[in-house]
């Protein structure tokens, strides 16, 4: 089955620690996205990538980093500079950045701070 | 700046009753509109979308939404809800700006269907 997988489902971070969230897709999509979801705030865009080896900051990129070395993979690192990392993180992909393209979402990773 | 407003954070409703979830957007240019549904601890699933053509769009599970350009609205409706419709619903707008076409989400509406 084609789709988007995110791992782990739950992730715990200690103070000062960097953690990496995995996102893999087998939909052959060019564009991938990372969103952060907080209660009552909807989804906010962290980073997005339109093509391999290229990515851009979204609305709340501070304290996060990404890489896009392979088309199917778009890992997100939450660095120690992110002072309030507790949230639900959602990865998405679309076949292109076209206006009519639908974004498909993974099941999410919940990050908690110890 | 473009934005999406979902006025109701929660909508409680009894099973088999009709429901409307409101969504308004602000944009000075043409937009594409989406409704996503999120079940507890899961990702978002596309429910329906308006791209062009008929202003009334339908989903496979009985939801429908109508694009109203004059009122800049895209309200979601269902004539008779089921317990299984309990979820959070997000309205989203696709706009074009610079080098990217961003998807802007509303804050979500929790639909709570009671027996």
- Closest Cα partner for B53 from B78, B32, B26, B25? B32
Give the pLDDT confidence of B63-97 residue by residue, as tens digits: 999 999 899 999 999 999 999 999 999 999 987 66
Burial of A88 (0-12, 13-18, 19+ CB in 10 A): middle
* Torsional sign, CA B14, B109, B103, B95: positive
| Cα distance between residue A4 and residue B103, in whole Å | 18
| Cα distance between residue A71 and residue A57, in whole Å | 18
* B102 part of contact set with chain A, CB < 8 Å: yes
So what's the pLDDT on residue B100? Answer: 58
| Cα distance between residue B69 and residue B50, in whole Å | 12
A4, A6, A48 ranked by CB distance to B100: nearest:
A48
- Residue pointed to by tokens 């084609």: A2
A56, A90, A100 ranked by CB distance to B43: nearest:
A90
Q: Which residue of B has its CA nearest to A91?
A: B43
* Torsional sign, CA A88, A35, B1, B38: negative
So what's the pLDDT on residue B29? Answer: 72
The mean pLDDT of chain B is: 90
| Cα distance between residue A105 and residue B78, in whole Å | 24
| Cα distance between residue A3 and residue A107, in whole Å | 10
Q: Take residue B8 and report the two structure tokens written for it.
A: 């109701």
Categorize the per-residue pLDDT at A97 as very low, low, confident or very high, splitting at 50, 70 and 90: low
- Assess whether pLDDT exceeds 60 at residue B99: no
The mean pLDDT of chain A is: 92
Across the range A51-71, mean pLDDT stands at 95
CB atoms within 10 A of CB A83: 8
Give the pLDDT confidence of B21-61 residue by residue, as tens digits: 999 998 767 788 999 999 988 889 999 999 888 889 999 88
So what's the pLDDT on residue B36? Answer: 96
So what's the pLDDT on residue A10? Answer: 93
CB atoms within 10 A of CB B81: 21
Categorize the per-residue pLDDT at B14 as very low, low, confident or very high, splitting at 50, 70 and 90: very high
């Amino acid at each position: 089955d084609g789709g988007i997988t995110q791992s782990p489902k739950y992730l715990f971070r200690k103070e000062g620690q960097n953690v990496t969230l995995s996102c893999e897709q087998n939909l052959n999509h060019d564009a991938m996205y990372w969103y952060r979801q907080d209660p009552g705030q909807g989804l906010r865009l962290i980073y997005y990538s339109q093509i391999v080896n290229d990515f851009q900051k979204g609305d709340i990129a501070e304290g996060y980093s990404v890489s896009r070395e392979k088309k199917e993979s778009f890992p997100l690192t939450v660095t120690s500079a992110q002072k309030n990392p507790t949230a639900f993180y959602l990865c998405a992909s679309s076949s292109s950045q076209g206006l009519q393209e639908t974004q498909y979402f993974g099941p999410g990773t919940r990050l908690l701070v110890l | 700046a473009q934005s999406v407003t979902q006025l109701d954070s929660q909508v409680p409703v009894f099973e088999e009753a009709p429901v409307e979830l409101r969504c308004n957007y602000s944009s000075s240019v043409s937009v594409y509109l989406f409704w996503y549904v999120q079940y507890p601890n899961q990702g978002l699933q596309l429910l329906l979308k308006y791209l062009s053509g008929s202003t009334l769009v339908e989903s496979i599970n009985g939801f429908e939404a109508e694009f109203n350009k004059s009122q800049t609205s895209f309200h979601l409706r269902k004539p008779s809800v089921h317990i299984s419709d309990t979820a959070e619903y997000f309205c989203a707008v696709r706009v074009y700006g610079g080098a990217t076409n961003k998807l802007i989400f509303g804050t979500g509406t929790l639909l709570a269907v009671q027996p």
